[in-house]
Amino acid sequence: MITDTELVSQFSIELGEDYASAKSYVRDIPTQALVYIRSFTHKLASLVAKQHQLEFIGPNLYDRIEQLNQARLIDVTAIRTMHKLRADGNRGAHPEKYHLTQHQLVSLAEKSIKHIIDVIKQLYPLVHQASAPAYQFVPFDSLAGRDVCYRAMMHNDHHAQYLVAMSLKAQALMAQDQTGTQAVAPDETHNSQSNQDEMQRLFAQAAYWFAQAAPFEHAALYEHGVSLLHGYADFDPAKKVQHTKQGELLIAQAARHGIADAQALLGYFYLVGSEAFGADVEQAKLLLTQAAEADNVEAMSNLGVLFYEAGEYQKAYVWMSKAAESGYPQAQYHLALLLTEKLALNVGDNIDVQLEQSQIWMQEAASQGQLDAMLHCATTILHHEHATKAELEQAEHYLHDVIKYGHNVTAMIELSVALADGMLGRVDVVQSAYLLQQAKLHGNDIQRQVVAPLWQSLLMQIDSVIDNHCVTALQPSEGELAALQQAKHMLNLSS
């Protein structure tokens, strides 16, 4: 019986190579595995189109899959699987924007490999006019990762050096995500200094290997520029501007070599202005379009912003939609806002349809960890008098994450009030007091003005229960009284 890799190779030798590479990196370098999966999906779409003599109207992968769908060349199940592979590939390119851990990335890559096998089995009869042969799935291993490290160090293999650096960068970004988190409750503890040291070590190692590979790999050249731009390695703070300019120039050099990520970032530089490049809308449009057509979701999203700011709302809608449908949460959030703010877009049958679409995209962005969308959805639930228990639990989860990852003062205030008033099915004055304390500490003058009356109200609520617990129907336990005293002490301490 043949293996799963042999099955894909029998379907297409070229696709078999991408599949073998993707599968080999799943356990150790899942971000690279997902990059290969995105490449696989591009090539699969091209193979099906070529067999049916279909000419694609553009290079964007979403558009190509939809063109296959509209031509009814493959069934809906295969179309959905290809869209899933495309979206997962995009997540691999930006794991930090989805707050994905290494374990979650590995799980995502493993599922994507299984999705590839599913779509190959579905399309095998279409391409070869025969049923897919029986096969045996070979378990994942970590041999490829070890081999990459060996080749990078012992053979000075520049592509292996780039792959090692990408793995280190992904780990560093995830460590950075955890280092920047904030406690939501007073009993949460973080070894922040240890996390910070680990993050800096990983970034520094990534910067070293990117620098080694940069003269030989255009993708590594781009990443070397990014490492200089963001200060991955320790350098003299007095030379920060010099390093920033150097990084931007290297990114521009990589963009000229056709690296889509570099084109997207250089387009952003031209959109907003930077150390080395002045604002130039036409250059920004050109570069962002090039990157967007190469399926870079950040470029699609920024292109949508560019058209929005120019008042070209239909074009903004087109590009934001493509990025949103590619699974990019930032674009999903901005598309939801666009649909709400510009109700004359006529993208649905009527205004109600457009508002419904806005709500769907906002919920989708929230489910993928977009912090502004999570806050929006949470506050909407809390202010809805008929919210279900499950919805309230979801709102609390969202607010916790917005505070944890975004240090958002509005979320602190919303969650504090909900806990003090029992809106979440329980009263937790200790956590409520702690959140008000953090909101007061991190808030601006206007936010502190909002906190002040809530602070006094919570103190009065606590004092009322403590002073009258013996003569009222409310009989708190010893543990509850201790919690009330702790909350009171916390509030008085920060007054």
Q: How far apart, in whole angstroms, are the C-alpha atoms of residue 31 and residue 166?
A: 8
What is the model's pLDDT at position 486? 79
Report pLDDT for 145: 74
Q: Which residues in the chain come in under a pLDDT of 50?
A: 471-473
Cα(348)–Cα(354) distance, integer angstroms:
5
Nearest to 213 by CA among 168, 175, 182, 256: 168
Report pLDDT for 477.
65
CA angle (151, 152, 158) in 5-degree steps: 110
List of long-range contacts for 237-244, beta carbons under 8 Å, 24+ apart? 241/275, 244/274, 244/275, 244/276
pLDDT attached to residue 456: 87
- H/E/C letters for each residue in the chain? CEEHHHHHHHHCHHHHHHHHHHHHHCCCCHHHHHHHHHHHHHHHHHHHHHHCCCCCCCCCHHHHHHHHHHCCCCCHHHHHHHHHHHHHHHHHHCHHHHCCCHHHHHHHHHHHHHHHHHHHHHHHHHHHCCCCCCEECCCCCCHHHHHHHHHHHHCCCHHHHHHHHHHHHHHHHHHHHHHCCCCCCCCCCCCHHHHHHHHHHHHHHHHHHHHHHCCCCHHHHHHHHHHHHHCCCCCCHHHHHHHHHHHHHHHHHHHHCCCHHHHHHHHHHHHHCCCCCCCCHHHHHHHHHHHHHCCCHHHHHHHHHHHHHCCCHHHHHHHHHHHHHCCCHHHHHHHHHHHHHCCCCCCCCCHHHHHHHHHHHHHHHHHCCCHHHHHHHHHHHHCCCCCCHHHHHHHHHHHHHHHHHHCCHHHHHHHHHHHHHCCCCCCCHHHHHHHHHHHHHHCCHHHHHHHHHHHHHHHHHHHHHHHHCCCCCCCCCHHHHHHHHHHHHHHHHCC
Give the per-residue pLDDT at 471.
43
Dihedral sign of CA atoms 393, 394, 399, 402 in order:
positive
pLDDT of residue 341: 87
pTM of the model: 0.80
Q: Whole-angstrom Cα distance, residue 462 to residue 487?
A: 8
